[in-house]
Structure 1
């Protein structure tokens, strides 16, 4: 077990957030070692863990051992695409259903796009595999597949798909997939009250649009709202609260720039487009997020943890009245933080590229 002491004061001026001075010992215990890109993971009722490796392997970690799950579909490795997020059905104890997203080449066009699959997990095998949604068309581009998955308290499944590198056509067009957050019933059917079901030619599964590449999504356990974060380009990473039918603006409004430093838009706000709850400039490349809802971390309860791929730390965000008022960088330099979850035991866990899954310890 390793511990680090933190004491610093930094001003993050462009987002008007102060990294406050703190003194505490924050450490970690390596729970699952030797993972490459642990994109997502979920704790089963018996405290074992299902872990997605981007290269296409689904790993079941139980009693200190890793086993590959049998029955996985063919996963396409293309740029940022591969095996992505995973979530358990809220009634997993009874139905043994899991849901996961992955890059799939199925379809007439060459390339790949993001799919959502449901399957039954039992005895280390997947059966009854069923693709519930497949974004179209395939693209040969390698960027912005998304993806995260959450369930609400009515067992609707939400999942995100990035704009697939086509910012000028996909995100603002509800007749096209990509750059969207989708909502389905748990069996893959379209909820009757989805926002665009009565609009001709619209993709009926769309819940919100105008997104770039959401790689964080979580239900706020204190409000039941859906929170997401997404990658901006050079700056302009965002945290958003997702509301039915809303337009989150990409690429019409943004606090970011092209990677060259040039502008692609002159405006940061527009009528009928949602403002981010919070944004980062410069970009931290956020991936994974989880709310702290545990008495194990009394000073953090109610906080939001966000992983940074670019700077290799976890941002411990203090929230007040639904706003980020303070950020603390913790566990810097372990590696690119890809995924974060709260375990059944109340501890916070993070998937670190090239390291594995760690348990966060505070003293």
Structure 2
């Protein structure tokens, strides 16, 4: 290896034959596969490209069996996808729709109505599969009141024929909110509760913070829905944009929620019945210029005085996303019962050390992916869906 002068008198590095061959070999080397990397263990990931394109913010997914998945796009198109060497589309996507009675003889699209209001950042927010029943939370347009609502509907899943059919609407927010709204601040996360009859739903402020502490609205609330009686109660209040994650832990009977704060102040909250979490009166974050100043937080920056406090706050904000618990699998005792939460804004996955109800620290374990949805099965296998049409699946070592 030697240095030589170029025409501009800048020294250049000349490589010997063996060095040049080694450099060429390095350039051709396959990139290292992604890996969840913790101080207390690792899991390699296999990255799959999804066979359809979704928009931002992208929609949720469900696992129908080990190799079969159901994806719902932001605008409500349903795709059945099978995992082989690559992800393969079982059949073309079909929009979530509601059949309109009285048109039984009609064979055209006039006999059904598309359910999802998909404008800018509005659209499908979450799904939850319970047996062969699929619950979907989505924004919908109220024509009578000329505004946007958050709805939850129940669908039947026919795996054999790759079909999803509308059964009934089980919840709709109040009141209808007139545009303009920020569609990513409507909430819409779902969690099955203490039994198969109980569903929890998070609702955001629709970018109308002055309506959150109004008890006559659904805005900024967590509601508990009785799936048998189809009634709902406000379970907790005071949230800004709980559109990241909602998780009910049946082992500990704890309900966990992530909430996007303003500038700074992203939160992980342990949700307790009847408690008020303070938005917009208090926040550990500070204001965005677009929000204006006048009394917006009650002028209580960097404070949760008088309200229920989050279990963990991220400052600066990480663009907090989905949250799940790692089960007791016998594979990694160090991770058992810890939480995993995605930072969508900083494209980082964190392991949150949980001791009792305390969250002790956040360990970054994966970088470079904007993770929109997470599932972990009982064997400890991770399924991570990104906003860039990818599905990452962990492989056991």
Higher RCO, 1 or 2 (CA under 8 Å, sep at least 6)?
Answer: 1
Q: Deviations over 1:237-265 (max 9, x none)?
A: 11111112211111111101112396833
Q: CA deviation at 1:110?
A: 2.7
Secondary structure of 1:269's counterpart equals: coil
TM-score, normalization by structure 2? 0.76
Aligned residues of 1:71 and 1:126 also touching (Cα < 8 A) = no
Q: Deviations over 1:3-33 (max 9, x none)?
A: 4596xxxxxxxxxxxxxx9385553112453
Partner residue in 1 for 2:208? 166
Q: CA deviation at 1:176?
A: 0.8
Alignment of 1:318-337 (within 5 A): 318-334=353-369, 336-337=370-371
Structure 1 residue runs without a partner (length 5+): 7-20, 191-203
Aligned residues of 1:290 and 1:305 also touching (Cα < 8 A) = yes
Partner residue in 1 for 2:319? 285
Structure 2 CA distance, aligned partners of 1:72 and 1:38? 15
How many residues in Structure 1 have an aligned counterpart in Structure 2? Answer: 328
Distance 1:62 1:343, change over 3 A: farther
Structure 1 CA distance, aligned partners of 2:341 and 2:396? 17
Q: Does residue 1:179 correspond to 2:196, yes or no?
A: no
Which structure has the larger Rg?
Answer: 2
Distance 1:23 1:127, change over 3 A: closer
Aligned residues of 1:87 and 1:150 also touching (Cα < 8 A) = yes
Partner residue in 1 for 2:68? 48
Mean alpha-carbon deviation: is it higher for 58-67 or for 76-85?
58-67
Secondary structure of 1:339's counterpart equals: strand
Partner residue in 2 for 1:201? none
Secondary structure of 2:285's counterpart equals: coil
Q: Deviations over 1:95-135 (max 9, x none)?
A: x2110111111342334221101111113222343111121
Structure 2 CA distance, aligned partners of 1:337 and 1:176? 31
Q: Does residue 1:304 correspond to 2:339, yes or no?
A: yes
Distance 1:188 1:236, change over 3 A: farther
Distance 1:166 1:62, change over 3 A: same
TM-score, normalization by structure 1? 0.82
Distance 1:205 1:237, change over 3 A: same
Structure 1 CA distance, aligned partners of 2:178 and 2:375? 31
Partner residue in 1 for 2:16? none
Distance 1:59 1:38, change over 3 A: farther
Structure 2 CA distance, aligned partners of 1:211 and 1:110? 24
Partner residue in 2 for 1:196? none
Aligned residues of 1:337 and 1:352 also touching (Cα < 8 A) = yes
Secondary structure of 1:112's counterpart equals: strand
Partner residue in 2 for 1:29? 46
Partner residue in 2 for 1:200? none
Q: Does residue 1:126 correspond to 2:164, yes or no?
A: yes
Aligned residues of 2:350 and 2:366 also touching (Cα < 8 A) = no
Aligned-residue CA RMSD (Å): 2.5
Aligned residues of 1:78 and 1:142 also touching (Cα < 8 A) = no
Mean alpha-carbon deviation: is it higher for 30-39 or for 211-220?
30-39
Secondary structure of 1:148's counterpart equals: strand
Partner residue in 2 for 1:260? 289
Q: CA deviation at 1:321?
A: 2.5
